[in-house]
Amino acid sequence: MDIDFPLILVLLVAGSGLVWLFDYMFLAGGRKLALLQLQRDYPEWDNEESMQHRKYREQADIAGGEPLLVEYSKSFFPVLLIVFVLRSFLVEPFQIPSSSMVPTLLVGDYILVNKFTYGIRLPVVRTKVLAINEPQRGDVMVFFPPHLNDTYFIKRVIGLPGDKIRYVDKVLYVNGERMPQKLLAQLPPARPTYRINMERMGEVEHEMQIDLRRRNDDFSVTVKEGHYFMMGDNRDNSSDSRVWGQVPERDIVGAAFAIWMHWESFLSVPSFKRLGSIQ
């Protein structure tokens, strides 16, 4: 099971904020009164050359000092809150863990995901509180698949609610219309096993890969209302809606829009050569 980072972040923000608030309402006043009493006990407390100043400082550090938990909470709460707002409602980074979106996205790509383009959602519970846009055919989308409700997946939106999808002989049909493909490369050139094509879906053009060694499928389905049909660009090596079903609207996370770094493994050197938008 993946670590539920959104839930952890919510708990950290709430915990540090509550500690800070409790201290402000119930503890900080007592420390201020203790400091005022010390100032009355040592009238020359603000004279740095007097003996009273030294005694005042020694006792003030004890009477007026913040508990360690309060000190840490006040330091980390603003930072955690900013991270929480950015990650939950604006932009979230992701790492590509598998080859299901090759050649569009490679293993080790670090991408940015727009969290508000499909509507503002509450973190953890995923309830949409503000509708903005709906996913469009051809979008690269991050979501929670129906069979793993705590794991992020990334695929391309192939079918919208009501669409009739058919995938046969490695060619995609949407509502009876063939999505045209143009050959870009065959790998390796001598005895090819992979073919890289440019596929057009309406206004969207994107690269996709097929494995010539895999058998031709004949798959068809009608997309249910409130659901989306997802497929990987690495068509013959992708676990997607053909395997585990359609994605409910409530499980959408956001739209992937940019690659900002490529770092294949801990022992490799990070690269920024793939920096750019995602098609």
> Which of 240, 222, 233 lies closest to 160 in space, CA to CA?
222
Residue 82, both tokens: 């900013």
Cα 34 to its chain centre, rounded Å, is 47
Q: Verify whether residue 164 is a known catalytic residue.
A: no
Q: Which helix (H) or strand (E) holds 82?
A: helix 68-85
100 classed as catalytic: yes
Which residue of the set 155, 170, 238, 241 is catalytic? 155
Q: Which long-range contacts (CB under 8 A, 24 or more apart) does 222-225 make?
A: 222/162, 222/163, 222/164, 222/165, 223/159, 223/160, 223/161, 223/162, 223/163, 223/164, 223/165, 224/161, 225/161, 225/162
Report angle CA 7, 12, 16 to the nearest 5 degrees: 155
Residues 6+ apart with CB under 8 A from 98: 107
How many residues comprise the chain? 279
Strands (E), the chain: 91-95, 109-114, 120-121, 128-130, 140-143, 153-159, 164-168, 171-174, 177-178, 181-187, 194-201, 204-211, 218-222, 227-231, 247-248, 252-262, 276-277
Catalytic residue among 73, 88, 100, 238: 100
Please give the Cα distance from 122 to 21 (Å, whole number): 23
Which residues are known to be catalytic?
100, 155
